A and B are shown apart, each in its own frame.
Chain A
Amino acid sequence: MSTLRALVIDDSNVMRNMVMNALRKARLAQFEFVEAVDGADALTKFSPAAIDICFVDWNMPNMTGVEFIRKARARGDAFHVPMVMVTSEQTVTKIEEALAQAGADAYICKPFTHDDMRMKLERVINKVLSAKAATPTKEGFFSRLFG
Chain B
Amino acid sequence: MAPLLTPTAAPFPAVISTAARDATTEFFQSFCGLQSQELTLATHDPPEGEIMSTISFVGDVAWAFSMIFPATAAVALAKAFAGFEIPADSADLGDLVGEVVNVIAGGICARLDRHGLRAQMSLPTVVRGANLSLLVPSGAATTRMAFTSPDGVFWVQLVKAPITAGPPGQTNT
Contact = CB atoms under 8 A, between A and B. Distances in A.
Contact of B109 (A15, A89, A111): A89
Given A13-B92, A91-B113, A18 B106 contact: no
Interface string B106-121: 1101100100000001
Contacts, number: 55
For this complex, into which size category does the number of interface residues on chain B fall? 20 to 34
A59 B124 CA distance: 10
B83 A18 contact: yes
Chain A, interface residues (CB within 8 Å), range: 20 to 34
Contacts of A89: 106, 109
A115 B81 CA distance: 15
**Majority-rule SS of B interface residues:** helix
A126 interface: no
B95 A88 contact: no
A60 B122 CA distance: 9
Interface string A63-103: 00000000000000000000000011111110000000000
B92 A110 contact: no
Contacts of B95: 12-15
Contacts of B122: 59
B16 interface: no
A111 B113 contact: no
B99 A14 contact: yes
Given A21-B84, A89-B106, 4 more contacts: A18-B83, A91-B110, A91-B113, A110-B106
